Structure 1
């Protein structure tokens, strides 16, 4: 009997499968490919990017803070060491000089002040006077000074030709003058480089040739 019922049910099911479905028909679910996975993947990717950005931002903000804390700690330690060093320095006593000593020093400074030199003094004139004084100190006696023609030949050849057109002698050295090569000269003037007028005498002129002295008689050596 049971075999007959099973056969009837089976035949009924086969008949229904070949016919139009009704309300009693059992629907077998058919798998449909889901269209949502790519949305999920995109969401996960965006989430990972946001997470990476947040982590990088936190790290970048944390690093300066750490450095700042280290700098603050180092500055604090430096200030503490400076405070200790200042505290260990000995007290410096200020010694105030006595009033009478200060007055004596002021008096000495006033006494040694030099008078200002006039600025309008020609430098060339000062050099001439210095040369004249130096020449007078080194000049030997007049009798020991040779004439130009008595000197050695190489010294005579080093003296250029000179012509005398005038000779003025005075007891005052500054008033003495002589005209050499049409140029009025006085004691201390330079004829050429290395030859200077040392002294103007009553009869002639004493010259210096480097470190050698020689004289010329105006009447005898008017030109040569």
Structure 2
């Protein structure tokens, strides 16, 4: 019993003082640490070698694709029926289609001979008035030879006399008619010199009326109705009123202006 108590006291004293390893204990610990120092590099090297080997084995370029198996199957023969030639002799032949030509009647055209002498017409506010053609009156009794029935030949002087007679008869039938002068040679105002154009007064044409009767021809300039022979202000005189233009005169020179054209 005393032995047990002594052992307990010794353990208690060791606990209070602390465990001090002996020389044998220190050598064992050093040998164990040196052994562990060599074990870890070996294990690491083994792991690296194993990883490289597994990578080489598992890479896709090292794998060989399995050869595809070729299966040859027999295709069953298909029954193809070929059509034979058709015999058209059993069918009735078609009748030929004939299209009859139809002649379309052309409308009849009536032509009239042209008059031997020209016929002119005057224009008045969009209306035409045909001028009467006065033929010279010929005394058929005097011109025809009653015995032979042949016409006498007239000389040049006789024909000229008949023509003058016809003209005088036309003027006497219509005293208001006037022989139309030729104004084709009259130049437009725009072709006159610039100095002449600057002297022409301003003109505002409001109306233009043409008639075969001279007395019915009228233009309205600057609000005033004028006829042939009237004056526009003190410088310009109306010489003639034509269907499409007006003949004016200033300083002894004639010029034309289109109808209803302001200046």
TM-score range, shorter chain: 0.3 to 0.5
Question: TM-score, normalization: structure 2?
Answer: 0.31
Larger radius of gyration: 2
- TM-score normalized with structure 1 length: 0.36
Which is helix-richer, 1 or 2?
1
